[in-house]
């Protein structure tokens, strides 16, 4: 009984620890300006959507949000289109230089983004794809892909190759065995990898700021506008930034729970 009470108590503390900043940010974004600067009040007398409306509508936050969603979607698609086959090959095949390739994947993250920024801009200008969402998605893919490959390799390593061999015995090709057997088993882990990739792309601000001038993503738009605004606009920006990421996690929670051995009905 004491152990159960202790577990519940610790769980409540953890939940409060993580939810308190979120609640405070949302509350500050909904607080009228006159109440926000009133030191005699802890809670606002009323809530308002004016700050969110101005940031989302007046300052074109809605367009920047759509841009961020498109960039994140393309980055995830490109990362998995190349990262999933790479992870499969590194897991299922033995060939010379395999460990060197794994190490080189990690080494790509050792180069600071600032170093490759100028060459990247020059390449995009020559290709005629500067200030486009696709160019930002390509740049995001470059730093998301190593993580996708490593996570995918770890996931596929935990799935026995005997399942695929059994499928091929019954007439499936290697690709068919992967699509019908291995991929469904790997979906929970791949969902976690997709969430990680989405959050990396969604929160990225430096590359998005230097590669775009008109088609800005939401973090770049916030950096360009809200950071010179009052504090409650910054909290409103934080609220808008959190909503799509939390929504994405909500719709992929089934695969995460399956990975943790929890069933959702």
Residues 61 and 107 in one domain: yes
Q: Terminal CA-to-CA distance of the chain, rounded, Å?
A: 28
Tell me, yes or no, whether 106 lies in a domain.
Answer: yes
Q: Residue 211, SS3? A: helix
In a domain, 265, yes or no: no
61 shares a domain with 35: no
Average pLDDT, the chain: 82
The CATH number assigned to the domain holding 151 equals 1.10.3720.10
CA quadruple 217, 219, 221, 224: dihedral, nearest 10: -140
Residue 135 has pLDDT above 80, yes or no: yes
Q: Is residue 264 part of a domain?
A: no
Query: Can you give the length of the chain in residues?
Result: 265
Give 77-130 pLDDT, tens digit per residue: 999 999 999 888 888 888 888 888 888 887 777 777 778 788 888 888 888 888
Q: What is the pLDDT of residue 263?
A: 40
| Structural domain of 209 | 49-259
Are 47 and 30 spatial neighbours (Cβ–Cβ below 8 Å)? yes
Give pLDDT, residue 261. Answer: 45
Same domain flag for 61 and 41 = no
Q: Where does residue 4 rank: exposed (0-12), middle (13-18), buried (19+ CB within 10 A)?
A: exposed
Token output for 248: 């994405």
Asked if residue 258 has pLDDT above 60, the reply is no
Q: Which residue has the higher pLDDT, 152 or 249?
A: 152
List the structure tokens of 136.
């930002």
Question: How many structural domains are present in the chain?
Answer: 2
Q: Which of 31, 48, 65 is the last residue of a domain?
A: 48
């Amino acid at each position: 009984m004491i152990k159960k009470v202790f577990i519940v108590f610790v769980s409540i503390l953890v939940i409060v620890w993580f939810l308190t900043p979120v609640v405070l940010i949302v509350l500050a974004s909904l607080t009228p300006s006159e109440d926000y600067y009133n030191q005699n009040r802890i809670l606002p007398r009323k809530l308002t959507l004016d700050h969110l409306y101005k940031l989302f509508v007046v300052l074109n936050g809605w367009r920047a949000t759509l841009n961020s969603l498109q960039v994140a979607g393309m980055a995830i698609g490109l990362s998995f289109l190349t990262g999933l086959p790479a992870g499969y090959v590194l897991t299922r095949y033995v060939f010379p230089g395999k460990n060197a390739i794994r190490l080189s994947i990690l080494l790509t993250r050792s180069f600071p983004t600032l170093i490759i920024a100028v060459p990247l801009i020059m390449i995009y200008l020559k290709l005629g794809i500067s200030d486009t969402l696709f160019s930002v998605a390509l740049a995001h893919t470059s730093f998301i892909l190593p993580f996708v490959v490593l996570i995918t390799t770890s996931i596929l390593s935990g799935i026995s190759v005997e399942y695929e061999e059994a499928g091929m015995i019954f007439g499936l090709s290697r690709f068919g065995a992967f699509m019908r057997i291995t991929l469904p088993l790997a979906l929970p882990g791949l969902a976690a990898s997709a969430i990680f990739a989405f959050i990396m792309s969604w929160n990225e601000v430096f590359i998005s700021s230097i590669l775009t001038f008109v088609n800005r993503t939401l973090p770049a738009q916030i950096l360009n506008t809200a950071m010179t605004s009052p504090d409650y606009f910054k909290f409103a920006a934080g609220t808008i930034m959190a909503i799509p990421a939390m929504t994405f996690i909500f719709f992929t929670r089934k695969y995460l729970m399956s990975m943790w051995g929890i069933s959702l009905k």
